[in-house]
Structure 1
């Protein structure tokens, strides 16, 4: 029998070799031997993975994850969306929302009639954690909104829960590994009512939502600093504040594009995308993209639908989600929009209830210590 040279290689060299494997092959390599399993599960292992698109489809609830190459060409875009894996929701849950942080997914539901737990899962390692709601509420009167993030300073993973009950808002934070929810004062956000959006808007160490003043038409951006757990309020583009009486008609979506906060809406047969080039510098808001919608008709017309960019490619192409369901693709080369058909289901509509970009990882949820990690 030949000599096993991998047994005598320094762990640093073995790690360097494995980190250069395609993601799926690196995941399979965990089955080779115990030393590789321990290495790939360690906090020190860093695999270079391209961004992926995770899509949630209902009836029944299941997810599909696609690898994305950032050299997309509209004429051959099907070749650039390679299915990485798919899985059904853990524990039979029926999520209505999904956000991502460092390769982990948070799954939750906004249903008020039953007490549905929250799930943190790694779809690649098939592990999940169950979190109960922060406290007992009257579920017929309470709206739950959850978000998920990682502190860029401490590296702590945190789940943020904002509840709306009886006209009041409450915020609770759960730091993974602690086993407890903590009440956090909303402070400057107390005079506003939160507008919950599907897309995950995490930028510059903050989570973001749009909020309205309770006593008059006025919308602002609310930021939550993940590290300090403090709220702050700042302004959208000044051109949009002049249109506050038309905000509902614009169907504004807040998201993050190229590491910048962005607002997206449709007007006069164009998709308008504003970017905040410098964080919290209100003068840095500028219109970065005007994408023509001519030639791509949708039911109800463009003015009655939400459009949200989820990735801008290097060549200027833009991947977007339309009305929380359809994936559409703008080609910078042809100046046209087409629907992206990724699922190839013969008897199902080709739509996603939730779609978001995330970076796959082999992060082991058992690293959180106190949490009860379950395999699915």
Structure 2
């Protein structure tokens, strides 16, 4: 009789082997036997695969979520400036509704969903795009046009938190996943500022951040500490060449806050090397739009998604085009994974693939998409 070696392997060795498999193979492994299913669905199981790219598109009341594995420069064919990627999942998320904002933290995504254009109410969903499970959250405020949202993950407690900012009333709330209730926060730093409505944020070290304007229309950055549940306000990059503090887009790259904007023929990408230290803002890239091969008058903004080890950059342009910039040749090319995203509202962000179960938070109304 043939011996079953996997049955006799210690649990920690089984776990180590399975955690190194590609995501697609891990999903298939759940069907092998019940012990593997229980192991792979436990929160103690951690996937050792690199971060993945989530692409969410929304158009004509139909929203899709696609997950891609992307390879770093050691594997990609840099001479042809070709980014290698593999599509893992392609899921229809919603019918009759549209995604208005997306945020990632850890393994979960926060989706801001608009139900109708004539009556722009919205709702919140937290989902794991790998397990295709989500949970619906009620809103703490009725008037959604004044609300902005953030999604945080505590590295100490492991708690996921959603923060809701109402810049009109000055009332702010926080929701800890699994508790089922919103808590009112003390009136904090965002009060009196203007944030874009129903948009999500950029996360750094598990904490959400937004750009905002003061009453004099000057740009600032707002951060929310998930542990202390306190807000902080600090400056955007300093003026250069008499331009003033320009309106830009916020991201997180290389464990730093990133702020990018377009001006004349340039895309300028700043990194804040020391958190909340204005003097640490450093220009990481100045990219000439003439090298992009696109009509510069149609480049509204560019958001860096990932900087590779050799300086190549994966960027989202105008919410509907992913472009890959080669630091070696100073050229760019469009990426095929977004070729069907034309004229759609698109979100692209890096997240950590995981089989994290929403049921493990004690949530009973977990749904599938």
Q: TM-score with structure 1 length normalisation?
A: 0.88
2:17 maps to which residue? 17
Of 333, 356, 360, 1:338 maps to 333
- SS of residue matched to 1:238: coil
Count of residue pairs the alignment pairs up: 363
SS in 2 for 1:311: strand
Q: 2:347 aligns with which of 336, 346, 354?
A: 354
- 1:257-304 Cα distance to aligned partner (Å, 9 max, x none): 1110011012242211111111122211111111222143545616x6
Distance 2:351 2:213 in 1: 29
* Aligned twin of 1:366: 359
User: Which stretch of structure 1 is more off in the superposition, 193-202 or 149-158?
Assistant: 193-202
Superposed displacement of residue 181, structure 1:
0.9
1:52–1:357 Cα contact (<8 Å) kept: yes
Structure 1 CA distance for aligned equivalents of residues 274 and 304 of structure 2: 19
Query: RMSD over aligned Cα, in angstroms?
Result: 2.5
Structure 1 residues 15-54: aligned runs within 5 Å: 15-54=15-54
Q: Are 1:310 and 2:305 an aligned pair?
A: yes
For the residues of structure 2 that align with 1:240 and 1:318, how far apart are their CA atoms? 23
For residues 119-156 of structure 1, what are the alpha-carbon distances to aligned partners after superposition, in whole Å with 9 as ceiling and x for unaligned? 11111112111111114x245xx333222121112110
Return the alpha-carbon distance in structure 1 between the equivalents of residues 320 and 55 of structure 2.
10
Q: For residues 314-333 of structure 1, give each alpha carbon's deviation from its aligned partner in whole angstroms, at most 9, with x where no partner exists.
A: 12111111112211111111
Alpha carbons of 1:93 and 1:30: their partners in 2 closer, same or farther (altered >3 Å)?
Answer: farther
Partner of 1:259: 255
Q: 1:153 to 1:64 in 2, by over 3 A?
A: same
User: 2:190 maps to what in 1?
Assistant: 189
Map Cα deviations across residues 16-73 of structure 1 (whole Å, 9 max, x no partner): 1111111210121111111111111112111111121111122321121110101144
Contact 2:211 2:219 in 1 (8 A): yes
Bigger drift between 188-197 and 333-342 goes to 188-197
Displacement of 1:370? 3.3
Distance 1:156 1:20, change over 3 A: same
- Whole-angstrom CA distance in 2 between matches of 1:83 and 1:271: 29
- 1:129 matched to 2:135: yes
For residue 232 of structure 2, what is the aligned residue in structure 1? Answer: 232
Q: Distance in 2 between matches of 1:144 and 1:293?
A: 34
Is contact 1:54-1:66 (8 Å) kept?
yes
Would the aligned equivalents of 2:63 and 2:98 in 1 still touch at CA under 8 Å?
Answer: yes
1:57-206 matches, cutoff 5 A: 57-59=57-59, 60-71=62-73, 72-73=76-77, 76=80, 80-90=84-94, 93-109=97-113, 113-135=119-141, 137-138=142-143, 142-164=145-167, 167-195=168-196, 200-206=201-207
Q: Distance in 1 between matches of 2:12 and 2:47?
A: 13
Instruction: Name stretches of at least 5 consecutive residues in structure 1 with no aligned partner.
Output: none
TM-score of the two chains, using structure 2 as the length reference: 0.90
Q: Note if contact 1:276-1:285 (Cα within 8 Å) is conserved in structure 2.
A: yes
State the shift of 1:367 in Å: 0.8
Q: 1:138 to 1:285 in 2, by over 3 A?
A: closer
Unpaired segments of 5 or more residues in structure 2? none
Answer yes or no: is the 8 Å Cα contact 1:293–1:337 preserved in 2: no
Structure 1 stretch displaced more, 46-55 or 181-190: 181-190
